[in-house]
Chains A and B, each alone.
Chain A
Amino acid sequence: MKFPKLTPKHVTEASLSFTFTRRAMVLGAFQGGIGALLAGRMAWISVAENEKYVLASESNRVNLTLVPPRRGWIIDRHGKPLAKNRTDFRVDIIPDRLKNKEAVIDTLARLLALEPEDVERIREDLDKAAGFQPVQVSDKLSYDQFAAVSVRLPDLPGVAPAQGFSRDYPAGPTVGHLLGYVGVASAKDYEERRDPLLITPGFKIGKDGLERAFENQLTGKPGAKRVEVTARGKIVRELTTRPDTPGKTIRLSIDAGLQDYAGRRLGTQSGSVVVMDCQTGDLLAMASMPSFDPNSFSDGISHLEWDMLSQDDHVPLRNKTLQGLYPPGSTVKPMAALSFLEAGLSPHDTVHCGGAIRVGNGLFHCWKRGGHGAVDMRRGIAQSCDIYFYVIAQRLGMQVIADMARRLGLGQKFPLPYPSQSYGTVPDAAWKLKKYGKDWQIYDTVNATIGQGYMLVNPTQMAVMAARIASGKMLMPTLLFDPKRPAPATLGVAQDHLDVIHEAMRDVVNGGGTGGAARLPIPDILMAGKTGTAQVRRITMAERRGGVRGNASLPFKLRDHALFQGFAPYDNPRYAIATIIEHGGHINRIEDAPMISSDVISYLYDPVKAMERLEKYEAGWGGSPEARLKTQMAAFRVSKGLAEAPPPADNASNASNAATGNITANSDTPPDDAAGGAANGTGDVAE
């Protein structure tokens, strides 16, 4: 076979040899050329681009880990810690580095004796986790457990043991709402702030309360640790370490002992106590119970615990001192009386109380069916006679009362460091027109003057009212300790008017009035105060005829709120207090607002005796709030058909994220019962 194109040239041995030599030279030159190309490439990479690759090599080799800064302490006015840090041993999983998920989880479950539900929670978190974000396996480990995991690290890729600090609230549940809690930053937090500190294992941010409000001050500056690591993430050696700068300490005006006492003294009730200094406006205690345990929230709360808390009718997830709104009931009577005095009424003018008066087409009763007979201002307050206030209020008009209410702090916004507060309502004609488009009616005045109808307050406002009545000064409630604060301005109310009110309030407690239970067990110190009852239901016509049903026979949600506001000592006011027991119904004298107030104030004078009484009560209530929370949890587990074993304290971080969301959502809407009270505009009596 011939290939035409290939034939033309005549080939000889010699010419072929020449061709070979020439082509071999070409080949050699080609090899040399490639060699030169490679040398050039080498020079380009290693000299021209050297800087870029040195950087890349360093960022490979050196792993910069942030050391989470220790969170600043929160201390009380005397320097006692309310929130501090505790050293703990922790194990996390970095999902990105995890190789054999099942084997690693099995090994950890064995080494750390994890409960099946913890294992389930870890699996859930791992499925949801975003690669680099560590998933907490367990914290509060013993040193032995920590060491057991640490020595097996080469076989457990992705497992990161760490020594860190966790938040510790020595008082537990009683400071839950005051301080809030901390938690692992959520994915949303990270998207907003893009701070690598947020995804550092062991770093927690304030999720609620003061922890959240003072987040910037409490968060210190992170330290940094440069370590040399292998490609598999094994640490070869530490290069340099820069220590962290702890966050600032926040000193509160709170008295830690009083706060704890007040919280515990609320016992099994759903209620709140606010204590204020009558000279400075310092808030000494803001207790809202029942509460969650911020310690367990900060570790990440279990779904179960969350469910239990959110289903509880005592609303442990609401900070009642600022978010709870209640009709103030008769506790506004001293305020109303003060407004009458300022409007020119003589305290000696009397009104005849026959048990009921007709206003418009409605019959308005006094709480005392038989009536009080002739009532002057002092007796009107001491005996809490409704008719006296109905009559005088009609004579002087609502505007007088509303102005005084606002002057004393009701319906006012106070700049307290809490993201969500409810401010309540002080109704008047303008307000009603704007809100409902209706004219003010005389029965609205009658309702408002006994703290029913549209009027709503939160416990902190009530404490401010008590403190301003006590001191005659424009006290502003404050939570931060600051001895150099300028002295408060005066209210501009005549002192003799205040004296009348003070004496009447003294009689409420010490002069055979309605608040005898609030008498202080301290010699020579007299409490002045005013009790209140706020209805949360409409009283039916049938009941009117047959007599109002006793609170004890009513379901919890329908019982009256029990309130008390006051101050002590009556002749030289030092402390003001407001106590509100949700649906207390005055059923249980020991756990009713007056006696709780008395014990809380007595703690300030004689803490030892006060504590002795409390411990006796607690024995009957099933122990401290912490112990009761545990018992409740165990019962809840049983009711859900789960094993009775108490769970280890570590739990899901996502649940605590959810907690934040829900609390915020809750706080925006006023409590149902209070709203019901507001709409309840009938002429029914309180006390």
Chain B
Amino acid sequence: MSIVPAPIAQLPWKLMLLITAIATFGIVVLYSAASGSMTPWAFNQLIRFVIFSVMALVLSRFPVSLFATWSLPAYGAILIALVLVELIGGVAGGSQRWINLGFMQLQPSEFMKPVIVLAVARFYSRLPVSEIRRWNAIWPALVLIGLPWSLVILQPDLGTATMIAAGGVTVMFLAGLPLRLFIGAGLIGGAAIPIAFSFLHDYQQKRVLIFLNPESDPLGAGYHISQSKIAIGSGGLWGKGFLQGTQSHLDYLPEGHTDFVFATMAEEWGMVGGISLIFAFLMLFRWGIRVSIRAQDRFSRLVAAGLTTTIFFYVAINLMMVMGLAPVVGIPLPFMSYGGSSMLTVMLCIGIIMAIDRDRRKSSRSNWE
């Protein structure tokens, strides 16, 4: 035993270091995005990160069983909130996403991203093992995913709806449903894309089309993608240098501190900064997957892997979007993009995975990593 007290020594230091490193990098980028100023973004982001880190550490002390118990009630509550958004939510940005609580704007669909994982995992953990290859193992999960998905699609928020569906389906996949179901669904889904496309809103269709050929409209709706690629591409190997980005500082890059923060970063830090960041995120996912593999019970496993994948979807969709591989859907980059909602969600995920990790360590008494 070292001189460090056991409770402190048991904190997941390596993980916290990794997350802090990513978040600090994010704050540095926000500092630059504000033309070398802590206000209006970097300082707020720092405060948020500290508060949400503490929240995640507090969450990690809760027993996993508590999350299991509360997962379905939480799911139900958020579902109700989503219905309320439809009924009384204010119109923002062309779609209904927010409930005004007076002191803050609440975006329930954001919370649905981790909670759908908890709810579906909870369902499969209580499903008798023998039922897993029966129809009964499929439809309740599909209902669990389908309800919030339809409500979010109605708002309409394509990005969040996709993430909810992806999170839920990932848990179904991990729960052990027959592989051919996924392959078959994938094929049918692929065939249905043209039909689905016709149901999209005009502005969503436009985004998808422009994603396919952003140069067709460089000054109009393709502007975001074009400018983002210019920012990333002009950074080169080593970047233009801290505070030297022209695309962001001269306002050519829209949303340079939120959804397109990666482009702001890549312009100044180059490919070296970009690949380091991608590598850091991969380390985070590796940690999450390893926690899930080592977890003892079904719920913990599914939740750890599912929440890791939720964070992964944030990162993957955002980066594909800024690099012109996916349409502009408004998914922020965890720890980097300025904004409270997404950081809260991601920190909730991290806190729950840490709780699972801690639970496993307590029971096995082994000292993983």
Contacts and interface: CB of A to CB of B under 8 A. Distances in A.
Q: Do A and B come from one complex?
A: yes
Interface of A: 1-3, 5-9, 11-13, 16, 19-21, 23-25, 27-28, 31-32, 34-35, 38-39, 41-43, 45-47, 49-50, 52-54, 56-58, 60-61, 228-232, 236
A27 B305 contact: yes
Interface in B86-129: 129
Contact of A6 (B178, B251, B275, B309): B178
Contacts of B275: 39, 42-43
Contacts of A58: 234
6 contacts: A3-B138, A20-B302, A20-B305, A24-B174, A39-B279, A228-B250
Interface string B214-248: 00000000000001011111111100000000110
Contacts, number: 158
A38 B278 contact: yes
Given A21-B293, A230-B251, A42 B129 contact: no
Q: Which 6 A-B pairs have the closest CB atoms?
A: A53-B233, A57-B234, A3-B135, A231-B251, A28-B289, A46-B271
Contacts of B312: 31, 34
B176 A19 contact: yes
B135 A20 contact: no
A7 to B, nearest CB: 6
B251 A11 contact: no
Nearest to B179: A23
A24 B293 contact: yes
Interface centre among B174, B233, B281 (most CB of A within 10 A): B233
B208 to A, nearest CB: 19
A28 B285 contact: yes
A42 B266 contact: yes
Contacts of A24: 174, 289, 292-293, 301, 305
Nearest to A50: B236
A228 B132 CA distance: 64
B286 interface: yes
Interface centre among B170, B246, B298 (most CB of A within 10 A): B246
Interface centre among A20, A46, A60 (most CB of B within 10 A): A46
A3 to B, nearest CB: 4
Contacts of B279: 35, 39
Nearest to B238: A46
A27 B174 contact: yes
B230 A1 contact: no
A20 B232 contact: no
B325 interface: yes
Interface stretch (B20-28, B74-82, B315-323): B315-323
A3 B320 contact: no
B21 to A, nearest CB: 17
Contacts of B134: 2-3, 6-7
- Tell me if A's interface is mostly helix, strand, loop or mixed: helix
A28 B237 contact: no
Contact of A57 (B173, B230, B278, B298): B230
B167 interface: no
Contacts of B270: 46
A3 B286 CA distance: 36
Contacts of A28: 285-286, 289
B251 to A, nearest CB: 4
A60 B305 CA distance: 44
A53 B305 CA distance: 38
A53 B230 contact: yes
B367 interface: no
A57 B246 contact: yes
A598 to B, nearest CB: 69
Contact of A231 (B229, B236, B252, B282): B252
Contact of A16 (B176, B178, B247, B271): B176
Contact of B230 (A13, A19, A56): A56
Given A31-B289, A231-B251, A6 B233 contact: no
Interface residues of B, number: 57
Interface in B122-163: 129-130, 132-138
Contact of A23 (B176, B252, B323): B176
A12 B312 CA distance: 30
A98 B312 CA distance: 43
Nearest to A49: B233
B274 interface: yes
Contacts of B175: 20
A58 B247 CA distance: 9
Contact of B323 (A2, A6, A31, A42): A42
A54 B233 contact: yes
A133 to B, nearest CB: 18
Interface string B171-195: 0011110100000000000000000
B303 to A, nearest CB: 12
A52 B230 CA distance: 8
Given A16-B176, A60-B227, 20 more contacts: A3-B138, A5-B178, A8-B133, A11-B132, A16-B298, A21-B293, A24-B293, A32-B285, A35-B282, A35-B285, A46-B237, A46-B270, A47-B237, A47-B271, A54-B233, A54-B234, A56-B233, A60-B250, A61-B247, A230-B251
B176 A45 contact: no
A24 B230 CA distance: 36
Interface string B278-312: 11011001100100110000100110010011001
A38 B133 contact: no
B135 A6 contact: yes
A6 B133 CA distance: 5
Given A13-B129, A23-B176, A57-B231, A34 B236 contact: no
Contacts of B247: 57, 60-61
A43 B135 CA distance: 45
Nearest to A60: B252
B63 to A, nearest CB: 21
A22 to B, nearest CB: 10
Nearest to B137: A6
Contacts of B130: 11
Contacts of A231: 250-252
A20 B305 CA distance: 10
Contacts of B323: 38, 41-42, 45
Contacts of A8: 133
Interface string B4-28: 0000000000000000000000000
Contacts of B250: 60-61, 228-231, 236
Contacts of B282: 31-32, 35
A236 B252 CA distance: 13
A24 B270 CA distance: 32
A374 to B, nearest CB: 91
A384 B324 CA distance: 93
Contacts of B305: 20, 24, 27
Nearest to B131: A11
Contact of B133 (A7, A20, A27, A42): A7
Contacts of B316: 31, 34, 38
A423 to B, nearest CB: 54
Contact of B235 (A19, A38, A46, A230): A46
Contacts of A31: 282, 285, 289, 308-309, 312, 316
A324 to B, nearest CB: 53
Contacts of A7: 133-134
A53 B289 contact: no
Contacts of A46: 232-233, 235-237, 266, 270-271, 274
A47 B305 CA distance: 34
Interface centre among A8, A16, A49 (most CB of B within 10 A): A16
A53 B278 contact: no
Given A24-B305, A38-B278, A45 B319 contact: no
B135 A2 contact: yes
Contacts of A13: 129
Given A31-B285, A57-B246, A60-B246, A1 B135 contact: yes
B325 A41 contact: yes
A39 B309 contact: no
Contacts of A20: 174-176, 298, 301-302, 305
